[in-house]
Structure 1
Amino acid sequence: MKLVFATNNQHKVNEVQSLLPETITVLSLKDIGCTENIPETQPTIEGNAIQKAQYVKEKYGYDCFADDTGLEVNALNGEPGVFSARYAGSQRNADDNMNKLLENLADKKDRSAQFKTVVALILNGQQYTFEGICKGTIIHEKRGDQGFGYDPIFMADGFTETFAQISLEEKNRVGHRGKAVQKLIDFLETKI
């Protein structure tokens, strides 16, 4: 089975590829010649994932899956949420985003948060969605150099290290994207 993963984020491609069985070949947007920025204009994480998958199917004709992820912080009423990648501006800089989040949480006692990923799949003309959630805490300073995005300031419940300090295998096991992708894999294995 060949599927397009509708992302230009090589970190995401690597994470997902490491989870998929050999019977599923993943093509990147680059592999299919898609160089434009795919719109993400929906007000929800699920909506953006669906929008990206539909775009690839409509414009390129491939069965595909897309994901969207947001960090939802309780004390900030769910911010940055759907705006996680561009929380500090359109430059989409991870350090700027983390700095803004830490600044906005400076006077907050509740630092609980969750990462939420929704994977949207379009396969044989049908649409499916799979959700993964990882609950945790936003720590006070950046720690670690693995991962990407908010990983250096997010510590999953039950851990003493941030996502940027644990291995990719461990992150995939407990993380939001890993959980959503595992649901996708379980579904795809019924279709192979």
Structure 2
Amino acid sequence: MSAPRRFTGDTLVIASHNSGKVREIAELLAPYAAHFTTAGALGLPEPEETGDSFVANAELKARAAASAGHIALADDSGLVVPALNGDPGIYSARWAGPEKDFALAMAKVEEGLAGKTDRSAYFVCALSLAWPDGHVETVEGRCYGTLVWPPQGEHGFGYDPMFRPNGYAITFGEMDPTEKHEMSHRADAFAQLVERCFQ
């Protein structure tokens, strides 16, 4: 296996049109890149996510943004529920519909779990760093927990209010965002990526 490629540029394109996600990524990588821009700011369209895994979709988005000439970082993340055969998985955002209504998405998950005893779940975050020459470095982070109902807490986004990480008595929705950022699936993936490409 070849040695990982290091990030040596000064500008990093964050391949996302989600302002919350862009802010979070920029904060996490601020020590390692002098300048950040986004796919949206560069006028790049959002590519259709046609991959069959988190890794495939992250790589697809990163490559599309890197085609503009800068090193680009993309993430693809979601909730995997074993009792629902892995759903919503890569379709986590789509379960919320065009209005991005995650109350609806959480209700759909709960409906699917009716009568099932296994309420385990895990969040996955795939991060992909792509260079204009086509080279890609990708990592995947996970955070395991249990699904609770009704949803609890106002913090976080997506499925956070129904996800209680293992070892905790509160959901991501109830947790202080700083604490969540230290132990989430995204934190796991970023720790791997920083070690691999930024240190």
Same topology, TM > 0.5: yes
Paired residues of 1:113 and 1:137 also in contact (CA < 8 A): yes
Q: Aligned-pair distance for 1:189? A: 2.5
Q: Aligned-pair distance for 1:188? A: 3.1
Equivalence for 2:30: 21
Q: Which of 82, 86, 96 matches 1:74?
A: 82
Q: Aligned-pair distance for 1:23? A: 3.6
TM-score (norm 1): 0.91
Paired residues of 1:144 and 1:152 also in contact (CA < 8 A): yes
Q: Which of 8, 12, 17 matches 1:8?
A: 17
Equivalence for 1:84: 92
Structure 1 residue 45 and structure 2 residue 54: aligned? yes
Paired residues of 1:6 and 1:28 also in contact (CA < 8 A): yes
Aligned residues: 188
Equivalence for 2:42: 32
Structure 1 residue 138 and structure 2 residue 155: aligned? no
Q: Aligned-pair distance for 1:63? A: 0.9
Q: Deviations over 1:67-95 (max 9, x none)?
A: 10121101111111111111254443211
Deviation larger for 44-53 or 17-26: 17-26
Q: Aligned-pair distance for 1:111? A: 0.4
Q: State the Cα RMSD in Å.
A: 1.6
Q: Deviations over 1:141-186 (max 9, x none)?
A: 1111111110111111111111111122211111001111222222
Structure 1 residue 63 and structure 2 residue 71: aligned? yes
CA distance in 2, matches of 1:97, 1:148: 12
- Amino acid aligned to 1:31: A
Structure 1 residue 128 and structure 2 residue 151: aligned? no
Deviation larger for 180-189 or 62-71: 180-189
Q: Deviations over 1:1-35 (max 9, x none)?
A: 2111111112212222222233413222233222x
3-state DSSP class of the match of 1:7? coil
Percentage of identical aligned residues: 37
Paired residues of 2:152 and 2:161 also in contact (CA < 8 A): yes
- Amino acid aligned to 1:66: A
Equivalence for 1:154: 163
- Amino acid aligned to 1:73: V
Q: Deviations over 1:110-138 (max 9, x none)?
A: 10000011001113632110110000011
Q: Aligned-pair distance for 1:42? A: 1.0
3-state DSSP class of the match of 2:29? coil
Deviation larger for 99-108 or 10-19: 10-19
Change (3 A) 1:124 1:33: closer
TM-score (norm 2): 0.88
5 Å-filtered alignment, 1:84-103, equals: 84-103=92-111
